[in-house]
Structure 1
Amino acid sequence: MSTDVEAAGSTGPPNDALPPGPGGDLRLGSSTFRPSDLVIMAIINRTPDSFFDRGATYGESEALTAVDRAVAEGAQIIDIGGVKAAPGEDVDTAEELRRIGGFVALVRSRQPDIVISVDTWRAEVGRIVAAEGADLLNDAWGGTDPHLAEVAAEHGLGLVCTHAGHLPPRTRPHRIAYDDVVADIITTTTGLAERAEAVGVRPEAIIVDPGHDFGKNSRHSLESTRRLPELVVTGWPVLVALSNKDFIGETLDAAVTDRLEGTLAATAVSAWLGARIFRAHQVGPTRKVLETVAAIRGTRDLAVARRGLT
């Protein structure tokens, strides 16, 4: 799977117009993503209290429809979550599995070629969804359950290693401070990645995430974005989860329903600076932004070529 320019008959730049960046291919399930690919991870929340969609995909039929729409709009990964990140009603393991257990199997049968990610920090949940066809475990809480990496290794799944400010799951940061937030991100995420590799997770299936807004205030999240190359050069593929987050809202003084433009700006900057995976609520607009970035940097040709040629 690649967005690179096809050389034959192309009026665009050659495949080697720009170096592809550090790191190698990312292999998840049956899919291979090259370093030059810009990959969309669509968010499907099986929660009644999601901060963005307010439960719009809590119902099974609504969630399946959202999966189909995201794939049609260009998502290559579907990220399924059963617990919202923010504080709220307690969701124990049984309830998390009630929400997403079985649903992963439905998505696998409905979309056999899509990469399925599950947003969980619990090894017990990871073990169940692995058996149902998941390809990736998206641990947004920085290895709170160390056995999750072992589950990924046992079942051949990928793992996302996230910086969450060393906080317990579902904890909001309060007056959090760092000597250097990016240095902490790099030390934490690469440490988690190295541990994952040590317990048997395939290195070509390990991803790092700076964790925008997780254990960070908005200035930390902005700094994490502009200094993204410092994480990129570690060689681990970088995922950014920017979509409609509070740092966008505070940058623009915008409600959660009015953050699309800010999200897309941060997405374009992150893509230019080397991020490879983009977790998004709005797949269609995100795809257009990433295709434009790829064309500018020379790793994607024009969709059509008419101007000045006909």
Structure 2
Amino acid sequence: MKTYYRAIPQVDAARPEGAFDLAGGWAWFSQVEVLRRGQAPEIIPAAQATEEALARMTEPRGTLAGLDMATPQVMGILNVTPDSFSDGGEFNAPDAAIARVAEMANQGATIIDIGGESTRPGAGHVAVVEEIARTAPVIAAVTAKSDVPISIDTRKAPVAREALSAGATLINDVSGFTWDGDLAPFAAEAGAPVCVMHAQGDPATMQDDPTYDDVLLDVYDFLEAQVGYLTSLGIPRHQILVDPGIGFGKTLTHNLALLARLSLFHSLGCPILLGASRKRFIGTLSNTEDAHDRMPGSVAVALAGVAQGVQVLRVHDVAETTQALTLWQAVTKGTN
């Protein structure tokens, strides 16, 4: 039976002797939760985990897309689409998109994720030519004026190719490199860092009736398999972000189960991205219908993720998240 090891992260100023750094970052752990399918969890001293598991949980993640994974990073969202769930139509004009990138960079975003195809529940397919037309000119214009790294949010190799030619650095695939068989080999050939996300089903149907045997372990197994595939192509493990895909083929219960034990994904040996900003489950829990009004809940979830060692926060509300993160870090450390 497969055994999973989850570091139980701590950020308390009082750290016991013998505690381990979590992923070379700001959190530490002295205990590990042992998980097995169909069995009750067990908590053991961290030193009793297998040598391989302990190495994966503790190894520093280094630098990805020019960003130091030893400190939390804020990824600003820019959807150049007419129909994204939160900001559709706001920034799909080139001038508005360029101005928004500059604004987010000034607010503290250390990388910008640009997407030309909505992946909201029920969204339809966008043709490759249209997606390129939406994204590549914006990326070229932005990178001509700014040094902030750009991530291309796409499932399609031709779109990624044009985006990297225009100046993008990171490829972020919400299908986890399962939709276009040419995308992962292209990323490896280009030497581009990637983000591999879990999603159950296509955006058009993913929320119809998502089901899992064990959502936490099912998502982990998928990401483990995809990380193995990507590394087999030559993409280094430390250049692969993993994203559990909050809201992508998940119910409220599924999302909360993943968020409660996010630190399990450190056992993949990769940095973690959390993208929960303004999502429906936040509106459900807070009784907030309009996505634009979900900033406080989004910030709360982001900070909970950072407390579990999440390295990259993908957010709409950059200024608010950055301010909250700055204060969280100062209070946690007891110093500025």
TM range (shorter): 0.7 to 0.9
Alignment of 1:155-166 (within 5 A): 155-165=190-200
Q: Which amino acid aligns with 2:183?
A: L
- Sort the Cα spacing of 1:93 and 1:258 in 2 relative to 1 into closer, same or farther, 3 A: same
Q: Which of 181, 197, 203 is residue 231 of structure 2 equivalent to?
A: 197
Q: Report the AA paired with residue 80 of structure 1.
A: I
Matches within 5 A, 1:199-214: 199-214=233-248
Does the alignment pair 1:68 with 2:102?
A: yes
Which of 39, 44, 54 is the aligned partner of 2:88? 54
Partners of 2:191 and 2:310 lie apart in 1 by 24
Task: Give distance in 1, aligned partners of 2:150 and 2:64.
Answer: 9
Which residue type is aligned with residue 126 of structure 2?
A: V
Deviation at 1:242, TM superposition (A): 0.7
Cα drift, residue 234 of structure 1? 2.5
Q: Partners of 2:59 and 2:110 in 1: how far apart?
A: 19
Whole-angstrom CA distance in 2 between matches of 1:89 and 1:176 = 18
- Distance of 1:32 and 1:262 partners within structure 2: 26
Q: Counterpart of 1:279? A: 314
How far is 1:253 from its partner?
1.8
Q: Is the 8 A contact 2:155 2:183 kept in 1?
A: yes
Distance in 2 of aligned mates of 1:42 and 1:81? 11
Residue equivalent to 2:301: 266
1:291 equivalent to 2:320? Answer no
C-alpha displacement at 1:133, in angstroms? 1.4
- After superposition, what is the alpha-carbon deviation per residue over 1:109-128, rounded to whole angstroms, capped at 9, x for unaligned? 1112x111000011111111
Deviations 1:91-139 (A, max 9, x none): 1111101101222111111112x11100001111111111121110010
Deviations 1:39-91 (A, max 9, x none): 00000110011211231101100000000000000001100000110234541
Distance 2:259 2:109 in 1: 22
Q: Identify the range of structure 1 (259-268 vs 84-93) with the bigger mean alpha-carbon deviation.
A: 84-93
The structure 1 segments of at least 4 consecutive aligned residues displaced by more than 4 Å after TM superposition are: none
- 1:181–1:220 contact (8 Å) kept in structure 2: yes
The whole-number CA distance in structure 2 between the counterparts of 1:268 and 1:28 is 21
Q: Tell me, what secondary structure is at the counterpart of 1:58? A: coil
- With the length of structure 1 as denominator, give the TM-score of the two structures: 0.86
**Structure 2 length-normalised TM:** 0.80
* 1:285 alignment partner, SS class: helix
User: 1:251 & 1:135 partners in 2: Cα distance?
Assistant: 35
Rounded Cα–Cα distance in structure 2 between residues aligned with 1:160 and 1:184 = 18
Corresponding letter in the other structure for 2:213: D
Percent of matched pairs sharing the same residue: 32
Instruction: Letter of the 2:64 partner, please give it.
Output: L
SS of equivalent residue, structure 2 residue 319: helix
Is it true that 1:28 corresponds to 2:67 in the alignment? no
Determine whether 1:168 maps to 2:202. Answer: yes
Letter in 1 for 2:158: E
1:120 maps to amino acid? T
- Counterparts of 2:299 and 2:278 in 1: how far apart (Å)? 9
C-alpha separation in 1, matches of 2:117 and 2:231: 27
Provide, for residues 224-279 of structure 1, a one-character-per-residue CA deviation record: whole Å limited to 9, x for no partner: 10111111233211100010001111111211122111111111111101111000
SS in 2 for 1:126: helix
Partner of 1:229: 263
* Structure 1 residue ranges without an equivalent (≥5): 1-11, 303-310
**1:41 partnered with 2:75:** yes
Matched position secondary structure for 2:194:
strand
CA 1:89–1:229: 2 relative to 1, 3 Å? closer
Hey, what's the Cα distance between the residues in 2 that align with 1:174 and 1:121? Answer: 21
Query: SS at 2:268's partner residue?
Result: coil
Per the alignment, do residues 301 and 157 of structure 1 end up closer, same or farther by CA in structure 2, a change over 3 Å counting?
Answer: farther
CA distance in 1 between partners of 2:198 and 2:203 (Å): 12
Residue identity in the other structure for 1:145: D
Distance 1:269 1:90 in 2: 33
Q: Distance in 1 between matches of 2:267 and 2:195?
A: 17
Q: State the AA in 1 paired with 2:284.
A: E
Supply the AA of the counterpart residue of 1:234: L
CA RMSD of aligned residues (A): 2.2
